[in-house]
Amino acid sequence: MIDMTSACTRTADVLTAVTEDQLDRSTPCEKLALRELVAHVGGLGVAFAAAARKDLGDLTDSPPADGGYQLDDDWRTQYPRNLALLAGAWRDPGAWDGMTRVGGADLPSEVCGLVGLTEVVVHGWDVAVATGQEFEVDDDVAEAVLAHLASFAADGPVEGLFGPAVEVGPDAGPFERALAFSGRAPGWRRA
């Protein structure tokens, strides 16, 4: 069980600092402009919270891009709330037990929790660097995300999740290595 509170809070803080004139910027997610990435983060908040509660239905049955990524009108207030709900739902020890579903895929709850944490952290960083913000990750969260990504990304990119791993130097910390496993160059800067 991992407490996602700090990761969700930091990502929420990054989201609330995004300005309207930044929404069409490029991001480390090559296929998503910033507005689409922000919408993705807002949607994953409710989907992973539902998965933690084992509240299977519309929120957990649809693939992430089903219908495209559209910002909600109240995204500045709602998306941080969605992330807070996600963190709260995964504080329940029962959330990590048994099976659940997210994005239309059934998987062990423990794996689902790690996928949700990874999504929050990696996409929080994506939004931060696309908008010139800092993004810090607690050591225990960075280690958990690194272990999760290393468990499958070392064999090559996972279609629809992340790109091929990139090289980082031997002095790279756990979060930089996690970013590299997710196909991101830790020094990425907006073009």
Q: What CA–CA distance (Å, rounded) separates 119 from 35?
A: 16
Q: Is 139 helix (H, G, I), strand (E, B) or coil?
A: helix
The pTM (predicted TM-score) of the whole model is 0.92
Amino acid identity of 67?
A: G
Does any domain span residue 37? yes
pLDDT at 159: 57
CATH number of the domain where residue 20 is located: 1.20.120.450
Full residue range of the structural domain in which residue 90 is found:
5-136
pLDDT digits (tens, 9 = 90+) for 110-156: 999 999 999 999 999 999 999 999 999 999 999 999 999 888 766 65
Residue range 75-80: mean pLDDT, rounded: 95
Query: In degrees rounded to 5, what are phi and psi of residue 126?
Result: -55, -50
pLDDT at 124: 97
pLDDT at 144: 96
What is the share, in percent, of the chain residues with pLDDT greater than 70? 92
Q: What CA–CA distance (Å, rounded) separates 113 from 53?
A: 11
Task: Judge residue 47's burial from the number of C-beta atoms within 10 Å of its C-beta, 0-12 exposed, 13-18 middle, 19 or more buried.
Answer: buried
Q: What CA–CA distance (Å, rounded) separates 13 from 70?
A: 20
The mean pLDDT of the chain is 90
Does any domain span residue 151? no
Q: Which run of H or of E encompasses 58?
A: helix 58-61
Does any domain span residue 131? yes
Among 14-23, 125-134, 177-186, the minimum mean pLDDT is found in 177-186
Does any domain span residue 182? no
**Looking at the 3D structure of the chain, how many domains does it have?**
1
Please say whether the beta carbons of 102 and 116 come within 8 A.
yes
Does any domain span residue 28? yes
Binning pLDDT at 50, 70 and 90, where does residue 187 land? confident
Does any domain span residue 106? yes
Provide CB contacts within 8 A for 151, sequence distance 6+. none
Q: Is the pLDDT of residue 189 over 90?
A: no
Residue range 150-176: mean pLDDT, rounded: 76
pLDDT digits (tens, 9 = 90+) for 24-37: 999 988 788 999 99
Higher pLDDT, 53 or 72: 53
Does any domain span residue 189? no
